[in-house]
Amino acid sequence: MTDEQKKPPATRPSGEPELPPTVMEIIAHEEQQDRKFARIAIAIAAVLHIVFFAVTWPSFAAAIKETKQIKSKIYVVKQIKFKQPPPRQVQQQVVMREGMLD
């Protein structure tokens, strides 16, 4: 074969030439791949979370037992209640006029 000879275009079983995929077909294919990746990622994350909880959970249980054994003192603080101030009295202002001083 020489470089000038090309392969014949691929054909479908119906005899029509196979066209390159459209944008919608490419997006649909990528979406399927993304779904597979997301499912795998979620499964791995769930397994890791279960492992982390299984590893750290016994230390939480031990801490709870220790807190039950140690009884801490309880301090009672009396709430302070302030008395209401007496109601304000209206003050009268005395105005002195110059004529009244004589």
Q: Is residue 30 part of a domain?
A: yes
- The sign of the torsion formed by the CA atoms of 16, 17, 23, 26 equals positive
| Number of separate domains in the chain | 1
92 domain residue, yes or no: no
pTM of the model: 0.38
More confident residue, 43 or 93: 43
Which domain does 45 fall in, by range? Answer: 23-81
pLDDT (0 to 100) of residue 42: 96
**Predicted pLDDT at 24:** 85
Q: Which residues contact 12 (CB under 8 A, 6 or more apart)?
A: 18
Q: Is residue 39 part of a domain?
A: yes
Whether residue 68 is contained in a domain is answered as yes
How many other C-beta atoms lie within 10 A of the C-beta of residue 24?
8
Name the more confident of 74 and 18. 74
What torsion do the CA atoms of 37, 41, 47, 53 make, to the nearest 10 degrees? -170
Instruction: Please report whether residue 90 resides in a domain.
Output: no
Q: Which helix (H) or strand (E) holds 39?
A: helix 23-69
Cα torsion through 34, 40, 45, 47, rounded to 10: 170
pLDDT at 53: 82
**Four-point Cα dihedral 90, 95, 96, 98, nearest 10:** 180
Residue 1: what pLDDT? 47
Give the pLDDT confidence of 21-78 residue by residue, as tens digits: 888 888 888 998 999 999 999 999 999 999 888 777 766 666 666 766 667 788 888 8
